[in-house]
Amino acid sequence: MWRNYLSAALRNLSRNRLYAAINIVGLAIGLAAGIFAGLYVREELSYERFIPGHESIYRVSMTRQVPGAPAAAFSTAYHRVSEWLESDFPEIQASSRLWIVRTAVRHGEFEAQQSVGFADRDFFRVFALPAIAGDLATALSTPDGIVLTRQAARKYFGEDMPIGKTLELDRSAVMRVTAVIEDLPSNTHLNFTVIASNARLLQELQPLPEFNVRKFEAHTYFSLDPATSLQSLRERMTGLIDRHQKFPPGIQLQVDVLPIDDIHLKSSAQFPLEPPGDLKTVYAIAAVGILIVLIAGINFVNLMTSRASQRAVEVGVRKAAGASRRDLVLQFIGESLIHVTIAMLVAVAAVELLMPYFNALLDRSLSGDPTATIQFEYWRDPMLALALVAAVLIIGLAAGFYPAMVLSAFRPIDTLKTGIVRSAGSFTVRQLLVVLQFGVLVLLILATAVIHRQTQFALNEGLRIDRNQVLLVSFRDARTRQGFQEALREVAGVEAVTSSHTAPTNRGTIQLTAERAGGSPAALQFTPVDFNFHEFYGLQPLAGRLFSRERGTDAVPANATSAVASGDGAAQLALIVNEATVRTLGFATPDAAVGQILKIKEWSPDLQYSIVGVIPDFPVDSIRVAVQPTVYFVDQNRLSMISARLNGRAIPETLTQINRLWQRIGEPRPIESQFLDEYYGLLYTDVRQQARLFNGFTVIALIIASLGLFGLSVFSAQQRTKEVGIRKAMGAGTQEIMRLLLWQFLRPVLIAIVLALPLGAWLMQRWLSGFAQRASIEAWLLIAAGAVVVLIGALTVAAHVILVARWRPAAALRYE
């Protein structure tokens, strides 16, 4: 019996090659998309799961609340929180701080700039990472201890176990390799390949004021006794900072903890080690993958039920020969499983071939590191292999059940008498399935358009600064910077130069407490800049003026070590603020802020700080975060970043000249430069990846839906051939027939548009609500999405509709 069923299934596939091809190709494309979506979702949900004991590891975060401003959450904590946690809570087994610093690393003649982690001696007690060589328990116990990943060991030493050999950090600290660990996979927020003892770094921090921003940049982790209640710990941590340290009045600091498993997808805190993901987007990608497989399944159901009448005689004969309905249901579900199995084999082959392109789509293959790519190794991953087999069974059974019930329900007497049976209700079901199919397509097209629009907004008009061809060069020594900056102005290809502390990003700004006359203290971000900083970035004042070299009070005096000291003959210091500062300090308008005097607690009380201008808000970090109240002042002693605008012509030659200039008069370390476009591109890596994924999935959904509609149009046109002949014989013209057939096929598409557009607009509005600055969803965008779907539907069936409408009546009437 089973051999007979298999023979009938293969014979049916061979006899109906067009429909079999549409079914298998559509299913294969849908399954491949589902596999890609599943791999992406699994990767996003698996962050930190490779770390032994990850369930008991937590990160300390800090929330700062100041009067007149919303609470700000940071992924870092005050540097002494680690020791307070260990002293106050015995259930904390180990804790460690982590600083990530960009510095030069040298071995022999080879030197490179890279991110280096500086951590406490107990770091590897918290993170029990696998060691290749050395003892991680004592690896960071000495001030010169340094641990490398396998990749870093090969990079600097050309071997896997360089234990005892030395590296030089920042051309000043000689470090001894004490251990080597395995390369960290891509699904972690720990973005280092070199981690060193923080003893020297702590010595540098000692002379800094207690309320200095650098001391807030420690990422703090601890491992907790698994028997401890996290909720109880959180309650007892309330007021931890206030119990140990007093900060300026009006500033409230609270600490909280977050499981490391949740850092990637459930943290919106500022200054993360890695750009976070978005849990809503992960769910959306999972839903899209399921919907695309659903679309492919809908095609299968539609084509199987639409061709039910073609197999009516076969069903009648089998029933007359004694086959029960159960036997027929098993036969047709078996055929469905054969279709899905073939489609899955094709899909798996396609995924294997396309994996390099998929990783490139997600920027995972740029480093050339295999640990950074998503793998599709089902032969090594039993769970993945089991998932593929389960998908075949579930999809095969689900997609084959309804067609099997329809086909097995035919009565032998009807099928053997006429050979043709019209399946009651099947046409309505097919119409509903087409509505669902194109409704999903509408949602995907709208989502793709909105995500693309938001991406362009984030990288262009949302920035509100002129970032075109801006090269950033980092410095350590202010005197060297000044000489390099002056020489840089003479380089051919360089149009303009300015400098600042962290231009124009928010990393490393100074957090100070300011107060206007009659107002409350407020925590503001203070950023040192050069005189022409705002002109360089195309920022015009909303009120007041910009800095000027001709005004003696527009800069910290040259003989002052910083803005804390006033220097001789200085009566005041000019400040430029953004709109967020105006709101935070309680000024009604930008004009009302100009000329006002601020008191800054941490700086000299003898020096007046006067607001001379107000500039527009512009995001210096991700547009997911509200623009922070920022104050700009001129202090040549604090500038460590040069911004050079290139003219865009002969850029490689210009960069070569800049490198030569660096070697001649720059610092001895390798030049550290980056285009501003690259920085903002990294900020929105996740948004750009989402845009690419939705672009790809939309194209796939479009292909599958078009294949299904084409298959239905071919079969439906064949079914209505006689009707077309009669209509033409009665005088109907070609255009009238075309309108009739097009309306039949486009009606469910139009219904799908009407139903899906409001839902899509609501869903994308919710997605956009995750951004502090965002583009709007305008009416034309909805209309365009609907028009694209109508056009796709019309083009899919147009060729066949035209062919049928032009048949001669005699040929059409002879068809049946």
pLDDT tens digits for 638-691?
888 899 999 878 888 999 898 888 888 877 778 888 888 887 777 777 777 778
% of the chain with per-residue pLDDT over 90: 18
Strands 608-615 and 219-224: unpaired
Q: Which residues of 419-445 are buried (b: 16+ CB within 10 A; e: fewer)?
A: eebebeebeeebbebbbbbbbbbbbbb
**φ, ψ at 649 (rounded to 5°):** -105, 135
E strands, 186-344, in order? 194-197, 219-224, 252-259
Strands 173-181 and 166-169: antiparallel
Q: Is the dihedral of CA 417, 422, 423, 424 positive or negative?
A: negative
d(CA 636, CA 627): 25
CA gyration radius, the chain: 34
25 or 731, which is more confident: 25
Summary mean pLDDT of the chain? 80
Predicted pLDDT at 59: 93
**Residue 801: pLDDT band by 50, 70, 90 thresholds?**
low
Predicted pLDDT at 600: 81
Q: Are 721 and 807 in contact (CB under 8 A)?
A: yes
User: Is pLDDT above 60 for 417?
Assistant: no
Strands 173-181 and 641-646: unpaired
User: Is pLDDT above 60 for 784?
Assistant: yes
Q: Are 278 and 686 in contact (CB under 8 A)?
A: yes
Sequence-distant (6+) residues with CB within 8 A of 486 are: none
**Residue 568: pLDDT band by 50, 70, 90 thresholds?**
very low
d(CA 643, CA 288): 42
Neighbours of 192 (CB within 10 A): 22
d(CA 56, CA 320): 67
| Strand, coil or helix: 259 | strand
pTM of the model: 0.79
Predicted pLDDT at 172: 83
Q: Are 450 and 777 in contact (CB under 8 A)?
A: yes
Predicted pLDDT at 122: 93
% of the chain with per-residue pLDDT over 70: 79
d(CA 216, CA 509): 11
How do the residues of the chain divide into helix, strand and coil, expressed in percent and rounded to 5?
A: 50, 20, 30
**Residue 778: pLDDT band by 50, 70, 90 thresholds?**
confident
d(CA 97, CA 87): 15
In terms of Cα–Cα distance, which of 209, 221, 200, 196 is closest to 100? 196
User: Is pLDDT above 70 for 566?
Assistant: no
pLDDT digits (tens, 9 = 90+) for 174-216: 999 999 999 888 888 888 899 999 888 777 666 555 544 445 5
In terms of Cα–Cα distance, which of 784, 711, 794 is closest to 442? 784
pLDDT digits (tens, 9 = 90+) for 741-775: 677 777 888 888 899 899 988 988 888 887 777 78
**Residue 94: pLDDT band by 50, 70, 90 thresholds?**
very high
User: Is pLDDT above 70 for 233?
Assistant: yes
User: Is pLDDT above 70 for 269?
Assistant: yes
Q: Which two tokens stand for residue 772?
A: 């502090």
User: Is pLDDT above 90 for 423?
Assistant: no
pLDDT digits (tens, 9 = 90+) for 694-706: 888 888 888 887 7
Predicted pLDDT at 14: 66
Q: Are 768 and 452 in contact (CB under 8 A)?
A: no
Length of the chain: 816
For residue 408, the surrounding DSSP H or E stretch is helix 382-408
d(CA 768, CA 552): 46
Strands 194-197 and 145-149: antiparallel
pLDDT digits (tens, 9 = 90+) for 140-172: 999 999 999 999 999 999 898 899 999 998 888
Q: Are 342 and 407 in contact (CB under 8 A)?
A: no
Average pLDDT of span 84-106: 89
Predicted pLDDT at 246: 72
pLDDT digits (tens, 9 = 90+) for 305-348: 666 556 666 666 666 666 676 777 777 787 788 888 889 999 99
Predicted pLDDT at 676: 86
d(CA 517, CA 62): 29
pLDDT digits (tens, 9 = 90+) for 32-52: 999 999 999 998 899 999 999
SS3 of 483-550: the string is HHHHHHCCCCCEEEEEEECCCCCCCCCEEEEEEECCCCCEEEEEEEECCCHHHHCCCCCCEECCCCCC
pLDDT digits (tens, 9 = 90+) for 379-405: 888 888 999 999 889 888 887 777 777
740 or 180, which is more confident: 180
Average pLDDT of span 443-448: 85
Predicted pLDDT at 238: 82
Average pLDDT of span 618-626: 73
Q: Which two tokens stand for residue 241?
A: 């900072």
Angular region, 279: left φ>0, alpha ψ -120 to 50, beta rest:
alpha
Predicted pLDDT at 211: 47
pLDDT digits (tens, 9 = 90+) for 473-516: 888 777 778 888 888 888 888 999 998 887 676 555 677 778 88
Q: CA-CA distances (angstroms) from residue 67 to 384, 518, 630, 631, 696?
A: 52, 13, 15, 17, 46
Average pLDDT of span 362-381: 72
DSSP class per residue in 299-345: HHHHHHHHTGGGGHHHHHHHHHTT--HHHHHHHHHHHHHHHHHHHHH
Predicted pLDDT at 281: 82
In terms of Cα–Cα distance, which of 511, 510, 481, 479 is closest to 498? 481
Q: Which two tokens stand for residue 743?
A: 């309306």
Predicted pLDDT at 569: 42
